[in-house]
């Protein structure tokens, strides 16, 4: 029996911890042998979970490269702007790479990562987890089988969720483009990637985009509101109250996401969460943050053969990340609400329902992507173990192309013009 694939976790935050759970479920397939993170609490948490030797605990990933190669693969889960350097460095040392999305925050860095992995002959899997969602995979299978005939138009919506957007994109790590990246890349590169994937071999020819930051602005701060929710006399009337989003959840016994994110140096409880809300960024009034990323954005695309696609991302929704998709074809119409696929056949005028099974371990069932995180890491570990890149659904070249479409869409928004994509490569 082959030994488990040995991995190093670079970035021990929420994503790094989620992917590393695979080793706890399947110790015969994967073993976490090292972790690098500047935060002692985050490092220690993974060390305890995976019994990592002290000599393999690092504050800086560069320290790992001072040693001979001692693992098969690296899971890079650092902040968005810190993807390129470790990805290139580890690839050139012969480590296979699972890289959290987005690949990088600009086209040059994305190309550098793909180039390094190609040059070294290592496997690269980018964290487009939705590619591994059984229901998303079924949509692609149905398209390729001709269930709707020639695809004419794709309509796709990402409802971010009102408190999710407030947590991640107003108060949180992805609120400010200079510190992270623009919203279409940070949140919706998944969705542009899916549209590109569903379009198959047809290249995108033109793209246009419009969007802005709505509502979460200082001028919309209600009269009498304080700078922090715990000090605010009108907090109970605000749907974005930090007390409601975090503290009330802890009081109800919920310590997972998003509560787990706001306590960087301790386990979340009433005391630590209260302290975080009084002193940290997540306790700020939603109208007094340094956020500047779009809260709503649309992207229109034209592909070869006349295929068109329209994507919408909006923050102000009840549903959270439950994508809504309609694909219009020459022989039928496919709709998906995230749980079930319905295909209406124009010839028979009958509807067929598809509900793909999703056997996901409990550890992954609440990770926020419908269990797709599990299927992504499962495919990556299998690909490394078998030296078979074909098992990766989000490999280098196609992922690079979908990222380039995201960059061009944002350029369209900023420059208020239709952008040609004919020369993308």
Q: Give the pLDDT of residue 267.
A: 86
Q: Is the peptide bond before 39 cis (omega within 30 degrees of 0)?
A: no
The answer to whether 94 touches 354, Cβ cutoff 8 Å, is no
Percent helix, strand and coil across the chain, each rounded to 5?
Answer: 40, 20, 40
Give 32's strand partners. 7
Q: Give the pLDDT of residue 394.
A: 85
pLDDT in tens, the chain (425 residues): 789 999 999 999 989 999 999 999 999 999 999 999 999 999 999 999 999 999 999 999 999 999 999 999 999 999 999 999 999 999 999 999 999 999 999 999 999 999 999 999 999 999 999 999 999 999 999 999 999 999 999 999 999 999 999 999 999 999 999 999 999 999 999 999 999 999 999 999 999 999 999 999 999 999 999 999 999 999 999 999 999 999 999 999 999 899 989 987 788 999 999 999 999 999 999 999 999 999 999 999 999 999 999 999 999 999 998 999 999 999 999 999 989 999 999 999 999 999 887 677 766 654 556 688 999 999 999 999 999 999 999 889 999 999 999 999 999 999 999 999 987 76
Q: Give the pLDDT of residue 395.
A: 83
* Residue-level length of the chain: 425
Between the CA of residue 354 and those of 156, 197, 272, 348, what are the distances in Å? 18, 20, 45, 17
- Which residues does 401 contact at the CB level (< 8 Å), separation at least 6? 196, 424, 425
Pairing of strands 57-58, 30-36: parallel
d(CA 300, CA 184): 13
Q: In which order are the strands placed within the sheet that holds 5-10?
A: 57-58, 30-36, 5-10, 73-76, 96-99, 124-126
**Would you state the structure tokens that stand for residue 6, as one six-digit string?**
């040995």
DSSP tag of 390: G
H or E stretch covering 214: none
- Which residues does 82 contact at the CB level (< 8 Å), separation at least 6? 11
Between the CA of residue 374 and those of 65, 186, 200, 227, 371, what are the distances in Å? 28, 21, 25, 40, 6
Between the CA of residue 254 and those of 249, 250, 258, what are the distances in Å? 5, 5, 9
Burial degree of 39 (CB within 10 A; 0-12, 13-18, 19+): middle
Angle 396-415/189-198 helices, nearest 10 degrees? 120
**Would you state the structure tokens that stand for residue 78, as one six-digit string?**
């650092």
Question: Alpha helices of 219-352 — where are they, by DSSP H?
Answer: 242, 248-251, 259-262, 270-279
Q: How far apart are the first and last CA of the chain?
A: 42
Q: Give the pLDDT of residue 369.
A: 64
Please give the model's pTM, rounded to 2 decimal places: 0.94
Q: Give the pLDDT of residue 364.
A: 61
């Amino acid at each position: 029996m082959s030994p488990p694939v040995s991995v190093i976790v670079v970035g021990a935050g929420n994503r790094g911890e989620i992917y590393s759970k695979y080793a706890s479920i399947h110790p015969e397939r994967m073993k976490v042998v090292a972790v690098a993170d500047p935060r002692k609490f985050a490092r220690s948490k993974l060390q305890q979970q995976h019994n990592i030797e002290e000599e393999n605990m690092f504050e800086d990933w560069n320290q790992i490269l001072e040693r001979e190669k001692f693992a098969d693969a690296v899971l890079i889960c650092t902040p968005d702007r810190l993807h390129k350097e470790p990805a290139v460095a580890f690839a050139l040392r012969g480590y296979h790479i699972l890289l959290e999305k987005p690949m990088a925050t600009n086209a040059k860095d994305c190309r550098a990562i793909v180039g390094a992995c190609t040059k070294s002959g290592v496997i690269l899997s980018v964290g487009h987890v939705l590619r591994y969602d059984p229901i998303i995979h079924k949509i692609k299978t149905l398209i390729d089988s001709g269930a709707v005939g020639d695809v004419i138009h794709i309509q796709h919506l990402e409802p971010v969720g009102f408190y999710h957007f407030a947590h991640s994109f107003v108060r949180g790590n992805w609120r400010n483009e200079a510190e992270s990246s623009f919203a279409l890349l940070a949140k919706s590169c998944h969705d542009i990637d899916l549209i590109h994937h569903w379009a198959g071999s047809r290249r995108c020819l033109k793209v246009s985009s419009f969007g802005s930051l709505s509502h979460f602005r200082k001028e919309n701060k209600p009269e009498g509101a304080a700078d922090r929710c715990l000090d605010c006399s009108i907090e109970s009337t605000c749907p974005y109250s930090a007390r409601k989003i975090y503290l009330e959840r802890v009081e109800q016994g919920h310590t997972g996401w998003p509560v787990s994110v706001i306590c960087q140096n301790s386990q979340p409880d009433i005391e630590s969460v209260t302290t975080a809300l009084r002193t940290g960024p997540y306790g700020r009034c939603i109208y007094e943050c340094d956020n500047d990323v779009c809260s709503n954005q649309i992207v229109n695309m034209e592909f070869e053969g006349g295929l068109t696609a329209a994507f919408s991302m909006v923050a102000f929704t009840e549903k959270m990340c439950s994508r809504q998709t309609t694909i219009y074809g020459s022989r039928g119409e496919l709709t998906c609400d995230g749980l079930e696929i319905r295909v209406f056949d124009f010839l028979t005028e009958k509807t067929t329902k598809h509900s793909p099974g999703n056997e996901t371990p409990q550890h992954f069932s609440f990770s926020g992507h419908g269990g797709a995180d599990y299927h992504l890491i499962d495919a990556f570990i299998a690909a490394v173990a078998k030296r078979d890149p074909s098992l990766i659904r989000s490999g280098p070249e196609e992922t690079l192309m979908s990222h380039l479409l995201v960059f061009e869409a944002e350029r369209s928004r900023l420059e208020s013009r239709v952008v040609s994509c004919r020369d993308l490569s």
